[in-house]
Structure 1
Amino acid sequence: MIFPVTLIDLAGFVALLLWGAHMVQSGVQRTFGPRLRAILGNALKGRLRAFLAGMGVTALLQSSTATGLMAAGFAAGGFVELAPALAVMLGANVGTTLIVQAFSFDVAAASPALIFVGVLMFRRGSGPRTHDLGRVYIGFGLMLLALHQLLGLMTPYEDAPSLRILLGSVSAAPLLAALLAAGLTWAIHSSVAVVLVIMSLASKGVVSPDAAFALVLGANLGAAINPVLEGPSGNDPAAKRLPVGNLITRAGGVAACLALLHPIGRLLISFEPDNARAVADFHTLFNLATAVAFLPLLTSYAALLRRLLPTRLDPADPSRPLYLDPAARETPIVALGAAAREALRLVDALEAMVQGARDALVEGDRKQIADARRLDSVLDRLNAAIKSYLAAIDPDELSEADHRKLHEILTFTTNIEQAGDVVDRNLLPHASKRLKRGLVFTKEGEEELAALMDRLVLNLRTAATVFMTEDPRGARLLAEEKAAFRDAEATATHAHFERMRAGRLDAIEVSALYLDLLRDIKLANSHIVAAAAYPVLERCGELLPSRIATNGR
């Protein structure tokens, strides 16, 4: 066969292998994504449980990167200590070896059946779960087919002298072999695919067992490089602790195994004469040995990482996104979680704006007006960043529940940003006008405004809670606040006119300003209610389509 054609075939079969792995991962994420994330979150309370959870979740997802992003999200948010998160990564590294173990057996004959069943489920499935499981079956079938084709492609070159010389030089330099495999794994973002290709080379005798083991070590090292380079962005070194810690454990294990490669290889071949099976066993044993070596040391190791990568003490730009990791967009459930966490920062900024407007209105603090206005640009930038981030997620990778969650995040951020616009364009100019002209409210009027502003802050905090928990009870309580604010406005307006009749106001300008403030506070509250309460109530069937009475009622 012509060599350039062979290279094209090789690239095509590797691409098919990668696409099959992608279909398995996306199908599992759509079917079990939220459940897997919950399992992982509950397991992050002990090192052994975290290790087992990381191994199981990764075995299903076939992506240690996806598992690592989930763990990194928990760690970055302060929901879990670094040591259990590192244990998850050790388990994830072992989990990636399980599919290699399965494919090391002669199971290529199952490929047509898997693809046939998968297509039937994908095309004829009545529900989204059946549809997504069909993707999983198709993905496994494609992976088996690609591996079978790779084995066939290697057969004519078993005894090619030029290839023997090239790979012989690699076999004589295990470090070079490891670096080549690390670079290849980094380039194609899949250690599973690289190890499967190495298995096919070893099964045909194209590479010696020692060379194959060195290449496997490189594949493990390359898989740990991507999260470091493409992980959390920003200037805070603490965000890199988990991926850097995982890379160091892998590099330590690779260095130790390279030093003992020949005796380990001889021992393994004596137990397993099948080269392909020997490669799979070596891959699994390497990750198990690394986990056994580092699990007892994780507490001290985590402390060392905290010293080497301390949290940046400089105040961060509040408008800079902290959680919108670009690498997480490949894993929709993680990306949506990151966007939801970023959305909660909008609540913090809006609360500071409302508090500033309150202090400016009630206490006459001029400095609060400028500080609150600066926060509006923070809201605008964060909202724009969240929208751009969500728009970059492939809609074909989203399940029905994922699409609903994406819509709810957009609804939440849009309404919070609009509430901020009400504060910036209405409440703060009113406060500035009052101070410039020396307008004075009555004592009762000031108390009413302060009470409504305090209630607005409480409703904002409730909205954040409802957004996180999606609790219908909290949503109902928050929705009732809209009527409460309407009644409060009516009561305050009536009391205000009563004071006017009693001659307790000297200026009509004060009256107009007071009533404008009441309406604007009520409008800001309406956006807060719409941000969190309405999506939950609509999903529960408790939201009326219209308040307008129909004919005949």
Structure 2
Amino acid sequence: MGVKVLLDLLGGVALLLWGLHMVHSGIVRAFGSRIRRFLSLILQNRYRAFAAGVGVTAILQSSTATALMLSSFTASGLVGLVPALAVLLGANVGTTLIVQLLSFDSSAFAPVLLIFGVAAFKRGTRTIVKDVGRVAVGLGLMLLSLHLLLDSLAPAEHAPVARQLFAAVTGEPVLALLIGTVMAWAAHSSVATILLTMSLGAANFLTPVAVLALVLGANLGSALNPLMETGSLNPAHRRLPVGNLINRIVGCILFLPLLDPTARLIQSIDPNPVRLAADFHALFNIVMALLFILPLARFARLLERMLPDVKSSSDLSVPLYLGESVNDTPSVALACAARETLRMGDIVDSMLEQAMTAIVTNDRKLVTEVSQKDNAVDGLHEAVKLYVINVTHGPLDEAEARRALEVLSLAINLEHIGDIIDKNLMELASKKIKRQLHFSAEGARELQEFHRVVRDNLRLAMTIFLSGDVKSARHLLQEKARIREMEFAAAENHIARLKEGRIDSMETSTLHIDILRDLKRIHSHICSAAYAALETAGELNRPRRQPTPGWANPQQPFTVHEGEAVLKGKTRA
């Protein structure tokens, strides 16, 4: 009997965690970009930020997800520390709304949500409909799991062994707090831990004090995950999760001696044992938000002193050559920006090399490494762009203005190449790995040869950017015709293998063509480096156009012409 109850309990917990995961993943897929954009715009003061944190976390159903999202914003400098801390205070309150909603008996809604969710996921023609269906299924599973937990615990309610076991484990509030911390950390969710605690308390396996201690632990444990998942070596990037952890620790210290009178107070207001954990969770987070919301500025300064900004040379996203002290000398500043852009080129070259290796060998680890390097390229591109624009605030002569545009053009094109590698080639690699597909020997050789030419021309483009050699620039543009011929020949050979009925070619047909297409797109961005050298030499006479396509459209290379409006009026004779 005891083994069956234990298995039912573990199964209910697993179902609860899976339902929570489905809700979170469905919301992120459907509205993730909008939520990130909303957060980046709304964080003007601490009170708006607090309200945003409440709303976003109520939607995401995870304060950990909100904390990780905010950590990336603060690390990149998009959001100040004070509003970010305010968002986390709101996020902690936002989790209480979820728990309050699920603390009421809503099991009758589980079948309705499951039916609607499955129908939307299976029959929906739009992606957002499928994602909303995923959310509905997740909510249905969460409600069903709570019903199963209560039903599975009911037969054991009068079992003395079970009651003695839970009493021994949770007899001391400090021990119960530590257990709740470990549970929330392992589950990556304070909500799941509190809902489980709610079920155990309703079945009278836990005393009211033990219920409150487990809730304290759940709040503390949920603050550990964002801190542990902050991969940056820079201490400044850990300010936000450390601040949230300090808030949780202070709350545990304040409430731990007051658990018994707090439990009696809550029970006198709301005697329902099912809602004891939910009510205390709300009380705890509201009190901690009120205590910290006003002194947030001082608290942020304390965190800045505790965790200073330390640049690490091993972090690829940290600029190495963009010194602020040289901005008064535009020629020197632009030389520094050029060096940083060449460093971007080296990272993109290594991404291109690893991408083909990952595609051919089905190496999943390389796919992850390439994605991480693309994040570094994005960071460097932003740093170079802002640095060059800052340099152009002063007067520039014609040569300096032209060099500024060349640096901007190459940095933008390199960032677009990185995006194609990460968002397109690595997605194709992931599909190939997932399906365990393999190219034919001839097809693999054709792709590798095509890739070799593209990579050689990337190095040639870096040389042209550095030296301005006109002969090399002419050669790079001539390579466009060679790439077209190679693409046509590879496609013809692939079709011939399909006609022969080659199984490996049939299985990888779409992948093969898509990889050729993406490599050709990368090459078009590479060739844009030749235009600057040819124009300086007077060999390129094209009509000037307004700067729109290259700035925002990654499908089209950015040329020097498109950036000239940036510096209009900032040149001197």
Query: TM range, normalised to the smaller chain?
Result: 0.5 to 0.7
- Structure 1 residues 15, 48: CA separation in 2 closer, same or farther (over 3 Å shift)? same
With the length of structure 1 as denominator, give the TM-score of the two structures: 0.65
Whole-Å separation in 2 of the counterparts to 1:273 and 1:29: 37
Letter in 2 for 1:251: I
For residues 211-255 of structure 1, give each alpha carbon's deviation from its aligned partner in whole angstroms, at most 9, with x where no partner exists.
Answer: 111101101100001111112x23211010000100010111011
* Equivalent residue, structure 1, for 2:248: 250
Letter in 1 for 2:125: S
Answering whether residue 538 of structure 2 is matched by residue 492 of structure 1, we say: yes
For residues 333-382 of structure 1, give each alpha carbon's deviation from its aligned partner in whole angstroms, at most 9, with x where no partner exists.
Answer: xx9999567424157679999xxxxxxxx99xxxxxxxx9xx99xx89x9
Answering whether residue 274 of structure 2 is matched by residue 276 of structure 1, we say: yes
- Structure 1 residues 264, 530: CA separation in 2 closer, same or farther (over 3 Å shift)? same
Contact 1:416 1:531 in 2 (8 A): no
Contact 2:89 2:289 in 1 (8 A): yes
In the TM superposition, residue 321 of structure 1 has moved relative to its aligned partner by: 7.2
Answering whether residue 124 of structure 2 is matched by residue 125 of structure 1, we say: yes
- Structure 1 residues 348, 182: CA separation in 2 closer, same or farther (over 3 Å shift)? closer
1:90-239 to 2 correspondences below 5 Å: 90-231=89-230, 233-239=231-237
In the TM superposition, residue 98 of structure 1 has moved relative to its aligned partner by: 1.2
* Equivalent residue, structure 1, for 2:392: none
Letter in 1 for 2:197: I
* Equivalent residue, structure 1, for 2:460: 422
Whole-Å separation in 1 of the counterparts to 2:210 and 2:143: 24
Whole-Å separation in 2 of the counterparts to 1:427 and 1:483: 7
In the TM superposition, residue 317 of structure 1 has moved relative to its aligned partner by: 3.7
1:19-418 to 2 correspondences below 5 Å: 19-231=18-230, 233-312=231-310, 314=311, 316-317=313-314, 319=316, 342-346=377-381, 387=422, 391=426
- Describe the SS at the equivalent of 2:285: helix
Contact 1:121 1:134 in 2 (8 A): yes
Whole-Å separation in 1 of the counterparts to 2:426 and 2:529: 35
Whole-Å separation in 2 of the counterparts to 1:208 and 1:127: 49
Letter in 2 for 1:269: Q
- Describe the SS at the equivalent of 1:108: coil
Whole-Å separation in 2 of the counterparts to 1:394 and 1:47: 43
Contact 2:550 2:556 in 1 (8 A): no
For residues 45-78 of structure 1, give each alpha carbon's deviation from its aligned partner in whole angstroms, at most 9, with x where no partner exists.
Answer: 1111101101100100111122112222221121
* Equivalent residue, structure 2, for 1:332: none
Contact 1:189 1:223 in 2 (8 A): yes
Whole-Å separation in 1 of the counterparts to 2:530 and 2:466: 23
With the length of structure 2 as denominator, give the TM-score of the two structures: 0.62
In the TM superposition, residue 102 of structure 1 has moved relative to its aligned partner by: 0.8
Letter in 1 for 2:555: P
- Describe the SS at the equivalent of 1:492: coil
Letter in 2 for 1:244: V
For residues 93-150 of structure 1, give each alpha carbon's deviation from its aligned partner in whole angstroms, at most 9, with x where no partner exists.
Answer: 1111211111111101111111001111111112222111111111100000111101
Unaligned stretches of 5+ in structure 1?
323-334, 354-361, 364-371, 397-413, 435-477, 496-521, 523-528, 538-553
1:457-476 to 2 correspondences below 5 Å: none
For residues 385-434 of structure 1, give each alpha carbon's deviation from its aligned partner in whole angstroms, at most 9, with x where no partner exists.
Answer: 984999599989xxxxxxxxxxxxxxxxx999988623445555787x99
- Describe the SS at the equivalent of 1:535: coil
Whole-Å separation in 1 of the counterparts to 2:32 and 2:187: 24
Moved more, 70-79 or 212-221: 70-79
Whole-Å separation in 2 of the counterparts to 1:191 and 1:15: 14
State the percentage of identical aligned residues.
43
Contact 1:27 1:135 in 2 (8 A): yes
Contact 1:53 1:88 in 2 (8 A): yes
Moved more, 245-254 or 38-47: 38-47
1:493-532 to 2 correspondences below 5 Å: 493=539
Whole-Å separation in 1 of the counterparts to 2:31 and 2:161: 48
Letter in 1 for 2:378: A
Contact 1:415 1:531 in 2 (8 A): no
Letter in 1 for 2:295: L
For residues 427-464 of structure 1, give each alpha carbon's deviation from its aligned partner in whole angstroms, at most 9, with x where no partner exists.
Answer: 55787x99xxxxxxxxxxxxxxxxxxxxxxxxxxxxxx
Contact 2:317 2:375 in 1 (8 A): no
For residues 504-540 of structure 1, give each alpha carbon's deviation from its aligned partner in whole angstroms, at most 9, with x where no partner exists.
Answer: xxxxxxxxxxxxxxxxxx9xxxxxx879645279xxx
Whole-Å separation in 1 of the counterparts to 2:430 and 2:270: 45
For residues 165-215 of structure 1, give each alpha carbon's deviation from its aligned partner in whole angstroms, at most 9, with x where no partner exists.
Answer: 222234431010000110111111111111111111111111111111110
Whole-Å separation in 1 of the counterparts to 2:107 and 2:136: 14
- Structure 1 residues 283, 347: CA separation in 2 closer, same or farther (over 3 Å shift)? closer
- Describe the SS at the equivalent of 1:260: helix
Whole-Å separation in 1 of the counterparts to 2:102 and 2:381: 47
- Structure 1 residues 258, 388: CA separation in 2 closer, same or farther (over 3 Å shift)? farther
- Structure 1 residues 417, 16: CA separation in 2 closer, same or farther (over 3 Å shift)? farther
The alignment covers a number of residue pairs equal to 408
Contact 2:66 2:91 in 1 (8 A): yes
Contact 2:42 2:52 in 1 (8 A): yes
- Describe the SS at the equivalent of 2:153: helix
Contact 1:24 1:140 in 2 (8 A): yes
Whole-Å separation in 2 of the counterparts to 1:6 and 1:263: 33
